[in-house]
Amino acid sequence: ERIELIGCCGQIIAHLKPVHDRQITIFTDEKEIWFDANLVKIKQLLVILLDNALKYSSDPIEILLSTDEKDVHIRVKDYGIGIPEGEVKRVFERFYRVDSSRHRKTGGTGLGLPIAKAITDVHQGTIRIDSVEGEGTEVIVTLPRRQQEGLSPR
Ligand code: ATP
């Protein structure tokens, strides 16, 4: 299906607002960003990334949306606790949680990022994390604007 990303992010933010009352801001130069995707899965992906940013940071959270000829780029950026350098690659493993997170009252199962990875995979996209411990985290998702015939992410 064709979905519109900016509106989709806006809906998720509106949903989270009464629960968390935190500042989540969308930055984009586009008016609308249409691409081929499964709406339910993309919403789930956004919820996972925002939920992590909410849990592991306290300052504003930013969603940066951009496009190029082939892809859409979603970046979820926070200024929170960050992830230690050696552990960034492990957070996509099921049930893996960085030690400092295990003791937080805001619990988690360690399944969020593996699911986020699975969702980007079915969309033929990529996900990576740029993080500095003590400074913050940026999750960068790239998804193709057009899905190849016969491989639509239902
Ligand atoms: P849940 O399954 O409820 O999302 P979780 O947050 O523990 O639980 P993941 O989303 O898979 O699980 O994240 C794995 C680990 O990566 C987290 O426990 C945390 O240590 C680290 N992490 C993820 N996102 C961030 C972030 N934005 N800032 C700092 N650490 C993060």
pLDDT in tens, 15-65: 999 998 899 999 999 999 999 999 999 999 999 999 999 999 998 999 999
**Closest Cα to atom 20 of ligand 1:** 98
pTM of the model: 0.93
The tokens of 86 are what? 């050696």
ipTM of the complex: 0.96
Tell me if 98 CB under 6 Å of ligand 1: yes
Round to whole Å and give the CA distance between 80 and 138.
Answer: 10
Q: Is the pLDDT reported for residue 107 higher than 80?
A: no
Q: Ligand 1 centroid vs 145 CA: distance in angstroms?
A: 27
Closest-CA residue to 126 (of 139, 135, 136): 139
pLDDT (tens digit per residue) in 4-26: 999 999 999 999 999 988 999 99
Amino acid at position 149, single letter:
E
pLDDT of residue 148: 80
Return the half-sphere exposure (C-beta side, CA atoms, 13 A cut-off) of residue 52: 29
Round to whole Å and give the CA distance between 108 and 74.
Answer: 23
Which mutation among 113, 139, 141 tests ligand 1's pocket best, with the greatest number of atoms within 8 A of CB?
Answer: 113
Percent residues over pLDDT 70 in the chain: 92
